[in-house]
Structures are given as C-alpha cells and as structure tokens.
Amino acid sequence: MSEHDHDLKIKVGDVMKTKFDMIDGMATIQDALAAMRHTETKMLVVKKQHEHDEWGILMISDVARQVLAKGRALERVNVYEVMTKPVLTVSPDMNIRYCARLFGRFHISRAPVVKNNEVIGMVSLTDLVLKGMVQNPVALNKK
C-alpha cells in the first residue's frame, strides 16, 4: 500500500464532532445566542419542521450580518428569518479530501453530518485539517 492509499482512508465520521446543538426555526435569535453561549459554539443545526423539510444551520456570522448590523431586536427576530436552509450536508463515509473540496467549491466552513436522515455530527474545515492530519502524519511530510 502506498502513502497515497493510506491518505484516502480517513472519513468524515472519523474527524467530526458528535456534540452539537439543535434549535427550532421558530425560536428567537435571543434564544439561539443563549444556546450558543452555553455550548461555546458558533453554529446551531436548525431542526426540520416535518419529514419532507430540510435541515438548516444558524451561524454566528449570519446573526452578525442580518441582525446586529441591521439593528434588529434579538427578541423579535426568529431563527428561520436568518438561517441558511437548505444546508449542504455530508455523509460520515465521505473521504475528508473530498469533503474539503466540497467545502471549497461552495465556500463553506462547516456542515452537518447526516446518516439515515438524521444529523449525527458536525464537521468543519478545522476538523478536516487538524484531526485528519493528526490521524495521518504521513500527509504532513508530502511536498
């Protein structure tokens, strides 16, 4: 097996975070920020409203651009007004290299990891690079 073959074995499921929080789209931005402070996270997964709905994501940058910068009241804006939906999701079986390419192509930095139509984790560029490279130090030595 070559070094390149070894590099291809790291999957999103190997590096994703399994602790994440979800919020309902009807919650206020004030509620969302309280949840973000509690979990020390920069994003929340927005729950589906029904089985034919799609996942959403609320990032702290969305709140900054669409609420803070516009002077909107935190308690009067609902998550669904600010969130990104549908959100790009990835499989836990996806190779981290392809996930990094997907993130680059769509200019995103994180995505929910979905298996059997349920969110099972979150993966970010930081996870892909730092955790992926730590699991595969051979890749660090490639030129």
Asked whether residue 143 is assigned to any structural domain, the reply reads: no
Number of structural domains (the chain) is 1
Task: Report in angstroms the alpha-carbon separations of 52 from 55, 91, 115.
Answer: 10, 19, 16
Please check whether residue 93 lies inside any domain of the structure: yes
| Domain of 109, in residue numbers | 3-137
Residue 92 located in a structural domain? yes
For residue 49, what pLDDT is reported?
Answer: 94
CATH number of residue 107's parent domain = 3.10.580.10
Q: Is residue 102 part of a domain?
A: yes
pLDDT tens sequence across 23-58: 999 999 999 999 887 776 789 999 999 999 999 999
Mean of pLDDT values over 4-24: 84
Side-chain half-sphere exposure of 13, counting CA atoms within 13 A: 9
pLDDT for position 106 = 97
Residue partners of 85: CB distance under 8 A and separation at least 6? 25, 46, 54, 55, 56, 57
Report if residue 30 sits inside a domain: yes
87 assigned to some structural domain: yes
The identity of residue 18, as a single letter, is: T
pLDDT in tens, 80-138: 999 999 999 999 999 999 999 999 999 999 999 999 999 999 999 999 999 887 766 55
Any domain includes 142: no
**For residue 36, what pLDDT is reported?**
85
